């Protein structure tokens, strides 16, 4: 038998399995993965910098557009930080509505993930089923907030839209129907041989590695790390609600699937409690345009894990600094560990199992020369000429095109 050669293949930036651009350079020996280099930064949009040039009110909508799936996560996290600096007493009802939308968002995100995971392992029926059921949640979100995505329910000092008893009934009806479906999916996940055989032992992340690499959310909980911001550092209305934090000790993709599915049931439990205990009263307090100087760190348990926002105010109507740490940034490092010594065919599902959102993650790129420790700041024209040179070396010449467009 011939000795298997070592070689490197690039996967991405146009990834065949995921819908977002990110690049993985995979070192292979035969079918076996020796190591993975992850390169982020294809989706950098400069949102943090843009936030500094807009007022707080405008930032709420900009921040909301960091991610399409967990838009409520980011806007709530930002708004919480600003409210803390301004020391606003947010009405209870507003906090309950935020919690309700947040949990509905978690349900739709987990359903979406389950469908994607089914698709990655070639179980497209699951994709069709879950995405059909997800429509019910999307309709409910549209009913409550006015939109299917980018709900725009948050404002500094409360929420923008109230809910009435007719809507409560609709939500309860949808939740009942979805709970039944979720029990069915749990049955599939636990009894169906195809799923457990495909997912067990794939993407192993032992508990100590999850802690060492700083995994968050279902990725960490699937490895037996009992951590949830909703319980550990309660925000919104979670202090008054009772729910369990789901953990699993499988430490593989199967464990993460089980955690997400069981979390759905907890979410339904929370939604029911929120609707039952929803206090009466106003839904927002008036927020000042100028936020006093100060800083705040806000944490939020997104469907994908812990989301952290840092806001620094300087007394004007614009923030001085906004920093976003999306859950995927914490989780993406674990992929390297999970893929080591596994087969290339496992790669799509292992990456999908952390429920990555690369546009959330791409905040700032720091380029370091590996040989020297010195940091270097590259100006815009320098960066441009560097990239032109790089493309020239690859055999792509933009001179003609630039002339045509009028940029010299």
Partner 1 sequence: MRPGKMMRQVLGSIFKKPATILYPAAKLEMPDKFRGKLKYYAAACIGCKLCMKDCPTGAIIINKVGDKQFEAIIDLARCIYCAQCVDSCPKKALEATKDVELAQLDEKRLKITFTLNDPEGKVTEQT
| Residues near partner 1, by CB under 8 A | 54-55, 57-59, 61-62, 65, 142-147, 150, 152, 155, 160-161
Beta-sheet strands, E only, within 253-304: 294-302
Asked whether 77 and 99 are in contact (CB, 8 A), the reply is no
Q: Which is nearer to partner 1, 156 or 220 (CB)?
A: 156
Q: Which is nearer to partner 1, 61 or 243 (CB)?
A: 61
Q: Which is nearer to partner 1, 125 or 369 (CB)?
A: 125
Q: Which is nearer to partner 1, 91 or 305 (CB)?
A: 91
Asked whether 95 and 189 are in contact (CB, 8 A), the reply is no
DSSP, collapsed to helix, strand or coil, labels residue 15 as coil
Least gap, CB of 227 to partner 1 (angstroms) = 34
Distance CA 92, CA 162 (A): 12
Least gap, CB of 210 to partner 1 (angstroms) = 34
Q: Which is nearer to partner 1, 25 or 150 (CB)?
A: 150
Residue 6 CB contacts under 8 Å (≥ 6 apart), including other chains: 27, 28, 29, 34
**Which residue matches tokens 């699951």?**
126
Q: Which is nearer to partner 1, 185 or 238 (CB)?
A: 185
Q: Which is nearer to partner 1, 54 or 323 (CB)?
A: 54
DSSP, collapsed to helix, strand or coil, labels residue 200 as coil
The tokens for 210 are 């999850």
Q: Which is nearer to partner 1, 167 or 337 (CB)?
A: 167
Distance CA 197, CA 98 (A): 39
Distance CA 49, CA 239 (A): 34
The tokens for 86 are 């301004």
Least gap, CB of 128 to partner 1 (angstroms) = 12
Distance CA 179, CA 339 (A): 34
Q: Which is nearer to partner 1, 30 or 282 (CB)?
A: 282
Distance CA 257, CA 115 (A): 11
Least gap, CB of 48 to partner 1 (angstroms) = 15
Asked whether 326 and 307 are in contact (CB, 8 A), the reply is yes
Residue 220 CB contacts under 8 Å (≥ 6 apart), including other chains: 210, 211, 227, 305
Asked whether 312 and 320 are in contact (CB, 8 A), the reply is yes
Sign of CA dihedral 73, 77, 78, 79: positive
């Amino acid at each position: 038998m011939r000795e298997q050669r070592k070689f490197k293949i690039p996967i991405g930036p146009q990834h065949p399995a995921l819908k977002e651009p990110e690049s993985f350079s995979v070192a292979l020996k035969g079918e076996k993965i020796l190591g993975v280099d992850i390169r982020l930064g294809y989706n950098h949009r400069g949102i943090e910098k843009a936030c500094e040039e807009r007022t707080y009110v405008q930032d709420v909508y900009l921040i909301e557009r960091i991610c399409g799936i967990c838009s409520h996560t980011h806007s709530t996290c930002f708004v919480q930080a600003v409210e803390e600096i301004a020391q606003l007493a947010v009405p209870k009802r507003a906090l309950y509505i935020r919690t309700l939308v947040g949990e509905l968002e978690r349900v739709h995100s987990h359903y979406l993930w389950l469908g994607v995971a089914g698709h990655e392992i070639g179980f497209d029926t699951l994709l069709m089923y879950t995405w059909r059921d997800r429509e019910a949640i999307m309709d409910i979100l549209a009913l409550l907030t006015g939109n299917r995505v980018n709900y725009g329910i948050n404002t500094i000092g409360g929420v923008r839209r109230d809910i009435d008893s007719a809507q409560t009934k609709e939500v309860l009806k949808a939740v009942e129907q979805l709970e039944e479906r979720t029990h069915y999916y749990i049955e599939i996940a636990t009894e169906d041989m195809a799923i457990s055989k495909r997912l067990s032992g794939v993407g192993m992340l032992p508990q100590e590695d999850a802690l060492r690499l700083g995994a968050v959310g279902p990725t960490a909980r699937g490895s037996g790390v009992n951590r949830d911001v909703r319980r550990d550092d309660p925000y919104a209305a979670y202090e008054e609600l009772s729910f369990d934090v789901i953990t699993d000790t499988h430490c593989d993709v199967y464990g993460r699937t089980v955690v997400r599915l069981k979390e759905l049931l907890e979410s339904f439990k929370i939604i029911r409690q929120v609707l039952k205990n929803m206090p009466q009263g106003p839904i927002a307090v008036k927020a000042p345009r100028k936020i006093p100087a100060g800083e705040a760190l806000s944490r939020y348990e997104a469907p994908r894990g812990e989301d952290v926002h840092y806001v620094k105010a300087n007394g004007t109507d614009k923030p001085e600094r906004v920093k976003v740490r999306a859950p995927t940034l914490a989780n993406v490092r674990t992929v390297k560990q999970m893929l080591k010594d596994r087969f290339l065919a496992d790669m799509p599902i292992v990456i999908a199992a952390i429920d990555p959102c690369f546009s959330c993650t791409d905040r700032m790129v720091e380029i370091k020369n590996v040989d020297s420790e010195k940091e270097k700041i590259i100006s815009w024209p320098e960066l441009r000429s560097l990239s032109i040179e790089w493309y020239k070396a690859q055999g792509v010449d933009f001179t003609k095109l630039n002339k045509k467009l009028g940029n010299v």
